[in-house]
A and B are shown apart, each in its own frame.
Chain A
Amino acid sequence: MSLAYVSPFDERVRAPEPLAPRPASLNGLHITLLDITKNRGAEFLDRIETLLLARGAATSRVAKEIFSKPAALDLIDEVARHSHAVVQALAD
């Protein structure tokens, strides 16, 4: 008689990634706007960008190769190196 089952799950416990500290103000920060290439996502980012610039932030735009795949590690590294914060847009 079996004492246990073989789990189909990966039972390893992964430590949750802590959230980065939230900035008190956007003034003077560099914000990257990541377009995931979903339809009309760029329009949404245009509006966000306008609002960010009005609050004194600097912005730049990058895009994923395709919305249905995770972002390339190089792209994530680049965003992490050059940005204080990032905004991803999902639209349809």
Chain B
Amino acid sequence: MTAQAPELAVTGIDQEPVTVRGLIAGGAALLLFVNEDCPTSALAMRNLGPLCLGLEHAGLSCTAVFEDRLEVAIRVARRCGWTGRVVSQSAPYATSRAYGVVSVPTAFLVSRGGQIATRVTGWDQPALAGLIQEASAMTGRPLTAPPATEPLRKPGCSSKAAIDPELAAAMEGNSNGDELEEMFERGWTDGLPVIPPTPERVEKMLGNRDGATSLGVVPPAMGEATLARLAACAVLAGCRPEYFPVVVAAARAALDPRFNLHGQAVTTQPAGQLIVVNGPVRHDLNLNSGMGVLGPGNRANLTIGRALRLLVSLTGGGMPGTLDRSTLGQMGKIGFCVAEDEEGSPWEPLHVERGFAATQSVVTLIGADAPLSISDHRSRSPEDLAYVLGWAAATQWSTNWWPLHEPSVFIICPEHAQMFRAHGWTKQRLREFMFDAVTKPAGELRRGETTPFVHAADPAAHIRKWSSAEAIVLLVAGGEAGRYSAVLGPCTGMGYQIVSAEVESR
């Protein structure tokens, strides 16, 4: 065989075009035609792949010519341990056609003169060892052949170039050939990339649950929350299947009429739905209750919170800018899930306060605004610290809007919690201290937005920031170092209650 090697019509990772001339510059070139769907292609890449770096240094360039999109090619090559060059061609696979490839893998040895010296079809270890030996003669340097591992030979699969061009184009998928972009086109996103909810992924998410089971309708557009749709949201969000019981519990709690998700989903307020996770499931799923608990970094926290928000905005139609009328929004509306640091807390955890056993895994849903950080590195008594924490909430909702009926959530960091532990403060004592400490005379609150309660009160009467101590929710979470707690403002005017739901154990 002495035919001239046809030029390559391919896309590579680098900007520079990939040419036969460039590939043979070191002495000779190995072209391995492969595609994603073919196990024999994977076998060839796995056996030849680790050798490529060494072959390239010895003058034989190695290029995997994929019949797949470049991002697919890169992923497959990486998975197979291919250390050579990766290039991609799209339908109708002109390069495969030009080389007369009818099955993959097919390997070509291209000489220094740009001619096809040898062709090996399928996985054929002895023939490929011969090809490498021939290449060694071309480069004048010893080259390592693939080891004689079983199977020595294996037939290949059909090249996509051998399939009818229209069929091949259809197999490439959607119009722009990119599943992730298709999700954006469909509007199945919160603005960030999502994982496409293929039936296989949704099935895995569901486990052996019946996808037709309904959890009820999701306001505001009243789409029915079947488990299949909830699983699709969990896939889109990036959840692992083991997270799904927590997502289901969060959805059950959110759809409880007492939570008034309808009001929360459409309000002009910024509030999102905070998910607090308690109990053993925190450890099972490696949920973060420690450093950076309110921020990025943990898949379980971020994707569980996001799955619930996708349920509200996609299944429920509460998409920002349409039925979600939030004036500003806030980042917690992308997803907001925290685990409580029960082990670091001096107090009973939230779910035990709410009547569950410590051994139960429970999610608790709270309508909450974005967190406000509270630095206190200098208080030397629990009274001073409680005062600083409580007053940080004084301007919540609005500067002069006193009292608040709806819950404010304080996230107490471990170092602050330690102060209360050292002085024997119970959770209730802290709550009542804050409730009593944050007061102002009504006369000082009569400016701008304020409440009828303030207007009706004697100007000298002291008004509390909260209408009851129970409106102060206390959690312990955060990194072990640093004296930063936080308070999350309320979602007001909803007539809603905090709702908890147990996570099913399977």
Contacts and interface: CB of A to CB of B under 8 A. Distances in A.
A1 B480 CA distance: 47
A69 B219 CA distance: 11
Contacts of A65: 495
B493 A68 contact: yes
Contact of B188 (A2, A8, A12, A68): A8
Given A2-B198, A69-B495, A8 B224 contact: no
A10 B260 contact: no
Contacts of A10: 221-224, 229, 315
Interface in A13-37: none
Interface of chain A: mostly helix, strand, loop or mixed? loop
A12 B493 CA distance: 32
B310 A8 contact: yes
Interface in B237-291: 260, 262-263, 267
B262 A6 contact: no
Contacts of B196: 5
A25 B38 CA distance: 74
A66 interface: yes
A73 interface: no
Interface residues of B, number: 31
A8 B262 contact: no
Contacts of A2: 198-200
Given A2-B199, A2-B200, A67-B493, A8 B229 contact: yes
Interface of chain B: mostly helix, strand, loop or mixed? helix
B232 A6 contact: yes
A8 B495 contact: no
A66 B495 contact: yes
Contacts of B310: 8
Contacts of A7: 188, 197, 229, 232
Given A8-B197, A10-B223, A69 B232 contact: no
B490 to A, nearest CB: 13
Nearest to B264: A68
B233 interface: yes
B304 interface: no
Best-buried of B171, B222, B495 by chain A (most CB within 10 Å): B495
B314 interface: yes
B75 to A, nearest CB: 15
A31 to B, nearest CB: 26
Contacts of A67: 493
A4 B200 CA distance: 10
Contacts of B311: 8
A6 B260 CA distance: 27
Interface string A18-60: 0000000000000000000000000000000000000000000
B374 interface: no
B495 A68 contact: yes
B46 to A, nearest CB: 22
B231 interface: yes
A1 B172 CA distance: 11
A6 B263 contact: no
A69 B110 CA distance: 73
Contacts of A6: 197-199, 202, 228-229, 231-232, 235
B198 A5 contact: yes
B506 to A, nearest CB: 21
A69 B266 CA distance: 10
B198 A8 contact: no
B127 interface: no
B494 interface: yes
Interface string B10-48: 000000000000000000000000000100000000000
B472 interface: no
Best-buried of A4, A9, A65 by chain B (most CB within 10 Å): A9
Best-buried of A5, A9, A65 by chain B (most CB within 10 Å): A5
Nearest to B268: A92
Contact of A9 (B171, B260, B315): B315
A54 B388 CA distance: 58
B236 interface: yes
Contacts of A70: 262
Contacts of A4: 199
A6 B390 CA distance: 47
A12 B221 CA distance: 12
A5 B235 CA distance: 11
15 contacts: A1-B37, A2-B199, A5-B198, A6-B202, A7-B229, A8-B229, A8-B232, A9-B223, A10-B229, A10-B315, A65-B495, A66-B494, A68-B493, A69-B260, A69-B263
